[in-house]
Amino acid sequence: MSDLPRKAVTRTAKLAALPIGFAGRVTWGLGKRIGGKSAEIVGRELQQRTAEQLFKVLGELKGGAMKFGQALSVFESALPEEVAGPYRAALTRLQEAAPPMPTRTVHSVLEDQLGPEWPELFLEFEDQPSAAASIGQVHRAVWHDGREVAVKVQYPGAGDALLSDLNQLSRFARLLGPLVPGMDIKPLITEMRDRVSEELDYGLEAQAQEVHAQEFADDPDVLVPAVVHQCEQVLVTEWIDGTPLSEVITDGTQEQRDRAGQLLARFLFSGPARTGLLHADPHPGNFRLLPDDKVGWRLGVLDFGTVDRLPGGLPPTIGGCLRMTIEGEAEAVYQTLCEEGFVKESIDLDPDAVLDYLLPIIEPAEAHEFTFTRSWIRSQAARVADPRSPAHQLGKQLNLPPSYLLIHRVTLSTIGVLCQLGATVRLRDELEEWLPGFLADTAAEEPLDEGEPLNEEEPAIEA
């Protein structure tokens, strides 16, 4: 396996072959239709063949191409089963592995970053990587003080590969749209491209991980490994065992699925409130389910290369708007969306129609507990993607402000993983505890009687 980046012309040729192949399959599909197959059947076959080629190429290239594939992989549950089934295994492989760097390259990076005596820093070092991802791969080792550690080594030239791939992918994003119904692919690629510098900065990643590790140090439900050592292209953190979430999705018991789903939702909403940071890469390869004698299972969280910095936690507007939607306050919801820029000034929508658009999406937040299923998310995707539906027509007129883009993607991705798990989750419990604005401020509506003491049992959470 050659080092990253491969010759630019080779990478570009592989990516450029995707739209060319797509055009060829359209011609093939036309022939099938002339031969008597229905448009719906031919469409599914086209989608399946396109997806198979797409994920094969993305998995081979690593870099931005693989990162894009990982982002798409959490949405496979939104695809029709006859399309999703054949390449679900390929998506799972993307979440956990990629072709590794040659050992000589790994040693060269370690020598450059840690010095010629780098082997003395480790009591043991496994040359075979335990995981390989979009910009680096992880090796299991034992630090000189006896701690088991994960050594993350960045691919040489990873930055150039990321930018090159994402620029190339953005040129034909429109052709990839049908792979994930109801999702606009181009903003996803643009947002990834804008965050390349952060993704490559192991200093920022170490800082974000250490903030989480300290905050969750005594947490009974979530474990974040501490940072041991960091330099420009190498990040050493404590090692954690456990079952990858991708394996829980394929082989886990219902108890494991439900517990993993609950903890994933808890981490998503509690993280910003407790650390001021949102873990923004929620694909299954970044999570582990760890057995625990006291609580049964804990959630191990990895990879803090992409985070959204939210000093005050998640915006209260999200919780308030969600609460008002559940309560059916159409006018108040519409006014909030207009004020926050979700509805542009030049657009005039019917508040009741907006409420009807939102209610099916927020169903998990309304129920005491909700079972996330592939069929549910498929129905939501189909409703939004069908050009004939009112939801599609209304959705086209809504706007996503830049400040909400990453929050929106992380939330959608997490829902995608919950549907892959088929988990039954008490989402409302997590929203009530961690999402600002979700619970009405009853103190403001009902003044305390004179002499009534303040409730000091539950102090406010400081970001």
pLDDT recorded at residue 157: 80
Percent of the chain having pLDDT more than 70? 69
pLDDT recorded at residue 451: 42
Residues 309-331, mean pLDDT to the nearest whole number: 95
Q: How far is CA 154 from CA 116, 138, 149, 263, 428, in A?
A: 18, 9, 16, 29, 39
Residue 312: closest CA among 342, 277, 347: 277
- Among 2-11, 134-143, 324-333, which range has the highest average pLDDT? 324-333
pLDDT grade for 197, boundaries at 50, 70 and 90: confident
Longest Cα separation, the chain: 84
Tokens 């009902």, located at residue: 446
What tokens appear for 175 in the block?
């052709």
Residues 323-345, mean pLDDT to the nearest whole number: 96
Residues 439-454, mean pLDDT to the nearest whole number: 48
Inform me whether the pLDDT recorded for 213 exceeds 70: yes
DSSP states of 97-159:
--PPPPHHHHHHHHHHHH-TTGGGGEEEE-SS-SEE-SSEEEEEEEETTS-EEEEEEEPTTHH
What tokens appear for 61 in the block?
């290239």
Residue 301: closest CA among 189, 226, 401, 247: 226
This prediction has a pTM of 0.78
Helices (H), 35-62: 39-61
pLDDT recorded at residue 279: 96
Higher pLDDT, 91 or 379: 379
pLDDT recorded at residue 440: 81
Give pLDDT tens digits for 27-40: 333 333 333 443 44
Residue 198: closest CA among 40, 305, 61, 123: 305
| Count of Cβ atoms closer than 10 Å to residue 87 Cβ | 21
Residue 325: closest CA among 306, 342, 305: 342
What tokens appear for 250 in the block?
């394929």
pLDDT recorded at residue 449: 44
Give pLDDT tens digits for 284-301: 889 999 999 888 999 999
Q: Are the C-beta atoms of 55 and 90 separated by less than 8 Å?
A: yes
Q: Are the C-beta atoms of 308 and 406 separated by less than 8 Å?
A: yes
Identity at 331, one-letter amino acid code = E
CA angle 394, 397, 402 (to 5 degrees): 125
Q: How far is CA 180 from CA 76, 92, 250, in A?
A: 7, 16, 21
Higher pLDDT, 34 or 222: 222
β partners of residue 223:
300
Buried b (16+ CB within 10 A) or exposed e, 225-248: bebbebeebbbbbbbbebbbbbbb
pLDDT recorded at residue 14: 58
> What do you get for the CA distance between the two ends of the chain, in Å?
45
Give pLDDT tens digits for 363-396: 999 999 999 999 999 899 888 878 888 998 998 8
pLDDT recorded at residue 386: 80
pLDDT recorded at residue 122: 98
Q: Are the C-beta atoms of 417 and 282 separated by less than 8 Å?
A: yes
pLDDT grade for 2, boundaries at 50, 70 and 90: very low
Residues 430-439, mean pLDDT to the nearest whole number: 96
pLDDT recorded at residue 28: 32
- DSSP state for residue 179 in the 8-state scheme: G
pLDDT recorded at residue 175: 59
Which residues, in sequence order, are CB contacts of 275 under 8 Å at separation 6+? 211, 212, 215, 463
Give pLDDT tens digits for 150-184: 999 998 887 777 777 777 777 666 656 555 555 56
β partners of residue 279:
307
* CA separation for the pair 303, 178 (Å, rounded): 29
Q: Are the C-beta atoms of 11 and 161 separated by less than 8 Å?
A: yes
**Number of continuous H segments (helices) and E segments (strands) in the chain:** 21, 14
- The number of C-alpha atoms within 13 Å of 201 and in the hemisphere containing its C-beta is 10
What tokens appear for 122 in the block?
């480790």
Inform me whether the pLDDT recorded for 120 exceeds 90: yes
Identity at 337, one-letter amino acid code = L
pLDDT grade for 25, boundaries at 50, 70 and 90: very low
What tokens appear for 118 in the block?
């780098």
Identify the H or E element spanning 29: helix 8-34
Residues 212-237, mean pLDDT to the nearest whole number: 97
Identify the H or E element spanning 256: helix 254-275
Q: Are the C-beta atoms of 259 and 297 separated by less than 8 Å?
A: yes
Identity at 322, one-letter amino acid code = L
* CA separation for the pair 51, 55 (Å, rounded): 6
* CA separation for the pair 372, 415 (Å, rounded): 8
